[in-house]
């Protein structure tokens, strides 16, 4: 991502709530209170609700939630999108969609490295295939949703989504399809 897009996305007023293995070299914190990541004692699905809380606490700041697809689903997205709409909380949700609960797969392999799942490559209850069209969910709540299937599309999609959040004061979601 170019420097100009990086500055647009992570301006001095941006708060990032991260429930994904986001590489912080690409999204460095801008100072105290600008980045919230998963606690080691945390549970799956906390990120979207935490982002809503951050937006309530700092209504003049841009809030971006970066979530895995499993985290997004565990966060009860319909309730979160309804709360965002009802309370006028425009925020950007970026769903990194790899079609799987990667932590379930890794956890299975870590506990049973020679087990059936590792040997066969089949991890029951670790897949989210067929992958939902997450961008459609936010649209049901008058938000802006886009599916991003190529890295080249991401900078323009981020600009459009941030314009919706910052100018139109509506929530937005980018469904970023990640190939495994």
CATH of the domain at 75: 3.40.50.970
**Backbone Cα Rg of the chain:** 16
- Would residue 30 count as lying in a domain? yes
Predicted model pTM: 0.89
Which of 23-27, 45-49, 90-94, 98-102 shows the lowest per-residue confidence on average (mean pLDDT)?
23-27
- Would residue 165 count as lying in a domain? yes
pLDDT range class, residue 41, cuts 50, 70, 90: low
- Would residue 38 count as lying in a domain? yes
CB–CB of 161/174 below 8 Å? yes
pLDDT range class, residue 6, cuts 50, 70, 90: low
- Would residue 112 count as lying in a domain? no
Number of domains in the chain: 1
Given a cut of 70, is residue 2 above it in pLDDT?
Answer: no
Q: How far apart are CA 103 and CA 42, in angstroms?
A: 13
User: In this predicted model, what pLDDT tens digit does every residue of 56-114 receive, in sequence order?
Assistant: 999 999 999 999 999 999 999 999 999 999 999 999 999 999 998 887 888 888 999 99
Q: How far apart are CA 173 and CA 77, in angstroms?
A: 11
pLDDT range class, residue 3, cuts 50, 70, 90: very low
């Amino acid at each position: 991502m170019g420097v100009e897009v990086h500055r647009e996305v992570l301006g001095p007023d941006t708060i990032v709530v991260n429930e994904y293995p986001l590489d912080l070299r690409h999204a460095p914190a801008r100072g105290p209170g600008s980045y919230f990541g998963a606690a080691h004692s945390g549970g799956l699905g906390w990120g979207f609700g935490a982002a809503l809380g951050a937006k309530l606490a700092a209504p003049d700041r841009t809030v971006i939630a970066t979530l895995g697809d499993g985290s997004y689903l565990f966060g009860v997205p319909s309730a979160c999108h309804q709360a965002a709409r009802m309370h006028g909380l425009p925020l950007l949700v970026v769903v990194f969609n790899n079609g799987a609960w990667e932590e379930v797969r890794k956890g299975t392999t870590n506990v049973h490295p020679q087990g059936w799942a590792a040997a066969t490559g089949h991890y029951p209850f670790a897949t989210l295939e067929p992958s939902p069209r997450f961008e459609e969910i936010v649209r049901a709540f008058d938000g802006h949703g886009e599916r991003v299937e190529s890295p080249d599309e991401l900078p323009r999609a981020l600009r459009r989504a941030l314009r919706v959040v910052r100018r139109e004061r509506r929530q937005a979601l980018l469904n970023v399809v990640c190939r495994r």
